[in-house]
Amino acid sequence: MASFSMFKLSFFLSLLSNLNLGLWPQTQNSLIIFPPSCNSIECPIFDTVEVGNGYEVRRYNSTEWMSTSPIQDISLVEATRTGFLQLFDYIQGKNKYEEKIEMTAPVLSEVLPSEGPLCESSFVVSFYVPKKNQENPPPAEGLHLQTWKPKYVAVRQFSGFVSDYNIGEEAAALQASLAGTVWSAAIDKSHAANHTSAYTVAQYNSPFEFDHRVNEIWMIFDLEE
Ligand SMILES: *[C@@H]1O[C@H](CO)[C@@H](O)[C@H](O)[C@H]1NC(C)=O
Ligand SMILES: *[C@@H]1O[C@H](CO)[C@@H](O)[C@H](O)[C@H]1NC(C)=O
């Protein structure tokens, strides 16, 4: 009996690891998979600056995001759920103009360096404001609008579900792939100047979609022209 459950467990584990490896291209040197959800919902457009080995650098022109207040949690997954529920209410019409807003992608979870004791971090969850609403996005209690100037983003894509275990690894992999590039220096400089996020997780799918899931780690930075 014990060996049977052991077998089941290891079978299950190998299924899980195959799931990730099988669905995803083995060669990770080009990161130009267009998130399928951006065919049906609006995503911010960007220019690709460079596709490197294990990373992509993009430039986003000005964009607008509706963001939560910082959410204290030990788990990015939990904080994202909490933040997303607020943003979901917002787009369903729980805002000052009682206006419904179309869903967009990605939803961003920004990881802020922890100030408090031990494990808790702060997370800010953001919704990309559709072009149509950018001129006059309805305000809402507990949410604030962020207008970004043009920004550069170093990106690494990964598939499957975002978990508190894989994000650290993916962020470390992005950092490693950027080591020694001009981008790495620009990111360090930008983050040192601003005390801003370590990294941001961008999710393009709802939790109910199981296939073709695309997530990204973003390191956002400014570049002096
Ligand atoms: C961003 O702005 C620049 C300069 O105005 C323009 O050349 C470029 O096409 C814009 N890119 C996107 C993705 O809108
Ligand atoms: C850093 O701070 C400056 C000035 O407050 C701001 O304009 C810029 O957008 C910030 N950069 C990032 C990457 O957040």
> In terms of pLDDT, which residue wins out, 189 or 115?
189
- Res 142: pLDDT: 96
Whether 68 has a pLDDT exceeding 50, the answer reads yes
Helix ranges restricted to H, 120-198: 166-178, 182-194
Residue nearest to ligand 2 atom 5, measured at CA: 194
pLDDT-derived band of residue 27, with 50, 70 and 90 as boundaries?
very low
Whether 96 has a pLDDT exceeding 80, the answer reads yes
- Res 121: pLDDT: 85
Q: Looking at ligand 2, which atom is closest to the CA of residue 194?
A: 1
- Res 197: pLDDT: 67
> In terms of pLDDT, which residue wins out, 117 or 67?
67
Whether 7 has a pLDDT exceeding 60, the answer reads no
107 - beta bridge partners?
127, 203
> In terms of pLDDT, which residue wins out, 161 or 24?
161
What's the gap in Å between 128 CA and the centre of ligand 1?
A: 18
Q: Residue 25: left if φ>0, alpha if ψ -120 to 50, beta else—which one?
A: beta
What's the gap in Å between 43 CA and the centre of ligand 1?
A: 15
- Who lines ligand 2 at CB under 6 A? 149, 151, 190, 194, 196, 220-222
User: Mean per-residue pLDDT for 181-203?
Assistant: 86
User: Mean per-residue pLDDT for 79-102?
Assistant: 97
What is the pTM for the complete model shown? 0.82
Residue from 46, 47, 223 whose mutation best tests the ligand 1 pocket (most atoms within 8 A of CB)? 47
Whether 8 has a pLDDT exceeding 70, the answer reads no
When the pLDDT of each residue in the chain is averaged and rounded to a whole number, the result is 84
Residue nearest to ligand 2 atom 7, measured at CA: 149
CA nearest 35: which of 18, 58, 17?
58
CA within 13 Å, CB half, 34: 11
Domains and CATH numbers, the chain: 2-221 (3.20.80.10)
pLDDT-derived band of residue 2, with 50, 70 and 90 as boundaries?
very low
* Exposed/middle/buried for residue 177 (C-beta within 10 Å: 0-12, 13-18, 19+): buried
User: Mean per-residue pLDDT for 24-29?
Assistant: 40
Rounded to an integer, what distance in angstroms lies between the CA atom of residue 139 and that of residue 90? 9
- Res 118: pLDDT: 64
For the stretch 106-124, pLDDT in tens is: 999 999 876 666 667 899 9
Residue at token pair 């911010």: 44
Examine residue 106 and say whether the peptide bond preceding it is cis (omega within 30 degrees of 0).
yes
